[in-house]
Amino acid sequence: MPLLTSLEQPLTRGKALWWAIFILGSGLLAAALYWQYVIGDDPCQVCIQARLWAVALGLVGAMMLLLPEGFLSRFSGLILAFITSAGMGERAYYLYEIENFRGDGSCEFTLGMPSWFAVDQWFPALFEVRNICSYTPEIAFGVSMAEALMGIAFVVCAITLLGVGLLLKSTVIDNA
Protein backbone atom coordinates (compact mmCIF):
# COMPACT_ATOMS: atom_id res chain seq x y z
CA MET A 1 0.00 0.00 0.00
CA PRO A 2 2.89 2.49 0.41
CA LEU A 3 3.17 2.71 -3.40
CA LEU A 4 -0.51 3.64 -3.72
CA THR A 5 -0.14 6.20 -0.95
CA SER A 6 2.85 7.78 -2.69
CA LEU A 7 0.92 7.90 -6.00
CA GLU A 8 -2.23 9.39 -4.51
CA GLN A 9 -0.94 12.97 -4.26
CA PRO A 10 0.29 13.37 -7.86
CA LEU A 11 -2.73 11.54 -9.30
CA THR A 12 -5.41 13.38 -7.31
CA ARG A 13 -3.93 16.85 -6.71
CA GLY A 14 -1.53 19.27 -8.31
CA LYS A 15 -0.21 19.71 -11.83
CA ALA A 16 2.66 17.17 -11.91
CA LEU A 17 0.59 14.52 -13.72
CA TRP A 18 -0.53 17.03 -16.34
CA TRP A 19 3.01 18.24 -16.90
CA ALA A 20 4.08 14.62 -17.39
CA ILE A 21 1.26 13.97 -19.87
CA PHE A 22 1.99 17.19 -21.76
CA ILE A 23 5.71 16.34 -21.94
CA LEU A 24 4.94 12.75 -22.98
CA GLY A 25 2.62 13.85 -25.81
CA SER A 26 5.11 16.49 -26.95
CA GLY A 27 7.97 14.01 -26.74
CA LEU A 28 6.09 11.43 -28.80
CA LEU A 29 5.42 14.05 -31.49
CA ALA A 30 9.07 15.15 -31.43
CA ALA A 31 10.23 11.54 -31.73
CA ALA A 32 7.87 10.91 -34.66
CA LEU A 33 9.13 14.02 -36.43
CA TYR A 34 12.73 13.01 -35.74
CA TRP A 35 12.12 9.59 -37.31
CA GLN A 36 10.38 11.22 -40.26
CA TYR A 37 12.69 14.12 -41.05
CA VAL A 38 16.09 13.10 -39.65
CA ILE A 39 16.10 9.32 -40.11
CA GLY A 40 13.90 9.41 -43.21
CA ASP A 41 11.17 6.92 -42.26
CA ASP A 42 8.05 8.37 -43.84
CA PRO A 43 4.80 7.78 -41.92
CA CYS A 44 1.91 5.66 -43.11
CA GLN A 45 -1.80 6.23 -42.56
CA VAL A 46 -1.95 4.36 -39.26
CA CYS A 47 1.29 5.99 -38.05
CA ILE A 48 -0.26 9.43 -38.61
CA GLN A 49 -3.44 8.34 -36.83
CA ALA A 50 -1.34 7.21 -33.84
CA ARG A 51 0.50 10.54 -34.05
CA LEU A 52 -2.84 12.36 -33.87
CA TRP A 53 -3.70 10.44 -30.69
CA ALA A 54 -0.28 11.35 -29.22
CA VAL A 55 -0.90 15.03 -30.02
CA ALA A 56 -4.36 14.76 -28.44
CA LEU A 57 -2.76 13.30 -25.31
CA GLY A 58 -0.34 16.24 -25.13
CA LEU A 59 -3.22 18.67 -25.63
CA VAL A 60 -5.13 17.06 -22.75
CA GLY A 61 -2.09 17.70 -20.55
CA ALA A 62 -1.81 21.31 -21.76
CA MET A 63 -5.53 21.92 -21.25
CA MET A 64 -5.40 20.52 -17.73
CA LEU A 65 -2.43 22.74 -16.88
CA LEU A 66 -4.60 25.76 -17.73
CA LEU A 67 -7.80 24.64 -16.00
CA PRO A 68 -8.32 25.28 -12.30
CA GLU A 69 -8.00 22.37 -9.88
CA GLY A 70 -11.21 20.63 -8.97
CA PHE A 71 -12.81 17.22 -8.88
CA LEU A 72 -14.75 17.62 -12.13
CA SER A 73 -11.85 18.99 -14.15
CA ARG A 74 -9.41 16.36 -12.83
CA PHE A 75 -11.90 13.53 -13.37
CA SER A 76 -12.62 14.75 -16.92
CA GLY A 77 -8.90 15.10 -17.65
CA LEU A 78 -8.18 11.58 -16.44
CA ILE A 79 -10.99 10.18 -18.59
CA LEU A 80 -9.78 12.14 -21.65
CA ALA A 81 -6.19 11.01 -21.06
CA PHE A 82 -7.43 7.42 -20.83
CA ILE A 83 -9.41 7.73 -24.08
CA THR A 84 -6.53 9.31 -26.01
CA SER A 85 -3.98 6.78 -24.77
CA ALA A 86 -6.38 3.91 -25.50
CA GLY A 87 -6.87 5.28 -29.02
CA MET A 88 -3.12 5.53 -29.50
CA GLY A 89 -2.71 2.00 -28.15
CA GLU A 90 -5.34 0.64 -30.53
CA ARG A 91 -3.59 2.21 -33.53
CA ALA A 92 -0.21 0.93 -32.30
CA TYR A 93 -1.65 -2.58 -31.93
CA TYR A 94 -3.02 -2.38 -35.49
CA LEU A 95 0.47 -1.44 -36.70
CA TYR A 96 1.90 -4.33 -34.71
CA GLU A 97 -0.60 -6.67 -36.40
CA ILE A 98 0.39 -5.38 -39.83
CA GLU A 99 4.09 -5.92 -39.25
CA ASN A 100 3.75 -9.29 -37.51
CA PHE A 101 0.56 -11.04 -38.63
CA ARG A 102 -1.22 -9.36 -41.50
CA GLY A 103 1.58 -8.42 -43.84
CA ASP A 104 -0.96 -7.05 -46.28
CA GLY A 105 -0.23 -3.35 -45.81
CA SER A 106 -3.82 -2.84 -44.70
CA CYS A 107 -3.91 0.92 -44.95
CA GLU A 108 -4.40 3.62 -47.55
CA PHE A 109 -2.22 6.40 -48.88
CA THR A 110 -4.63 9.02 -47.49
CA LEU A 111 -5.33 9.89 -43.87
CA GLY A 112 -9.01 8.99 -44.12
CA MET A 113 -10.32 11.83 -41.96
CA PRO A 114 -13.56 13.69 -42.71
CA SER A 115 -13.29 16.95 -44.67
CA TRP A 116 -14.04 19.02 -41.56
CA PHE A 117 -10.93 17.55 -39.89
CA ALA A 118 -8.44 17.78 -42.76
CA VAL A 119 -5.33 18.05 -40.58
CA ASP A 120 -3.26 16.44 -43.33
CA GLN A 121 -4.08 19.43 -45.54
CA TRP A 122 -3.82 22.06 -42.79
CA PHE A 123 -0.51 20.78 -41.39
CA PRO A 124 1.06 18.54 -44.06
CA ALA A 125 4.51 18.68 -42.45
CA LEU A 126 3.03 17.01 -39.35
CA PHE A 127 0.18 14.85 -40.60
CA GLU A 128 0.58 14.02 -44.29
CA VAL A 129 0.63 10.30 -45.15
CA ARG A 130 3.83 9.60 -47.11
CA ASN A 131 4.13 5.83 -47.10
CA ILE A 132 2.10 2.62 -47.19
CA CYS A 133 1.89 0.48 -44.05
CA SER A 134 4.51 -2.21 -43.75
CA TYR A 135 6.64 -2.11 -40.62
CA THR A 136 7.65 0.32 -37.91
CA PRO A 137 11.30 1.08 -37.24
CA GLU A 138 13.20 -0.40 -34.31
CA ILE A 139 13.55 2.04 -31.43
CA ALA A 140 16.13 0.14 -29.34
CA PHE A 141 16.92 -3.39 -28.11
CA GLY A 142 14.74 -5.00 -30.78
CA VAL A 143 11.61 -3.06 -29.73
CA SER A 144 9.68 -1.63 -32.66
CA MET A 145 7.94 1.73 -32.62
CA ALA A 146 4.56 -0.05 -32.57
CA GLU A 147 5.59 -2.14 -29.55
CA ALA A 148 6.92 0.94 -27.72
CA LEU A 149 3.70 2.86 -28.39
CA MET A 150 1.61 -0.07 -27.14
CA GLY A 151 3.65 -0.14 -23.94
CA ILE A 152 3.41 3.61 -23.42
CA ALA A 153 -0.34 3.54 -24.07
CA PHE A 154 -0.80 0.67 -21.61
CA VAL A 155 1.13 2.51 -18.88
CA VAL A 156 -0.83 5.75 -19.40
CA CYS A 157 -4.14 3.84 -19.41
CA ALA A 158 -3.17 2.08 -16.16
CA ILE A 159 -2.06 5.33 -14.51
CA THR A 160 -5.21 7.19 -15.51
CA LEU A 161 -7.48 4.38 -14.30
CA LEU A 162 -5.55 4.28 -11.03
CA GLY A 163 -5.93 8.06 -10.84
CA VAL A 164 -9.69 7.80 -11.33
CA GLY A 165 -9.92 5.18 -8.59
CA LEU A 166 -7.79 7.20 -6.15
CA LEU A 167 -9.67 10.40 -6.98
CA LEU A 168 -13.02 8.75 -6.34
CA LYS A 169 -11.69 7.17 -3.13
CA SER A 170 -10.30 10.46 -1.82
CA THR A 171 -13.55 12.26 -2.70
CA VAL A 172 -15.65 9.68 -0.87
CA ILE A 173 -13.35 9.84 2.18
CA ASP A 174 -13.33 13.66 2.15
CA ASN A 175 -17.12 13.76 1.94
CA ALA A 176 -17.67 11.09 4.64
Report the percent of the chain where pLDDT is more than 70: 86
User: Does the CA dihedral 143-86-120-59 come out positive or negative?
Assistant: negative
Distances (CA, A) of 17 to 3, 12, 27, 64: 16, 9, 15, 9
pLDDT digits (tens, 9 = 90+) for 136-148: 778 888 888 889 9
Residue 1 pLDDT greater than 60, yes or no: no
The larger pLDDT score, comparing residue 9 to residue 67, is at 67
The larger pLDDT score, comparing residue 45 to residue 82, is at 82
Tell me the pTM: 0.86
pLDDT score for 30:
95
The larger pLDDT score, comparing residue 81 to residue 11, is at 81
pLDDT score for 116:
86
Measured CA to CA, the distance from residue 26 to residue 73 in angstroms comes to 21
pLDDT digits (tens, 9 = 90+) for 82-121: 999 999 999 999 888 887 776 555 676 666 777 888 887 8
For the chain, the structural domain boundaries read 18-113+146-175
Q: Are 46 and 98 in contact, with CB atoms under 8 Å apart?
A: yes
pLDDT score for 28:
95
- Domain 18-113+146-175 CATH assignment equals 1.10.3470: no
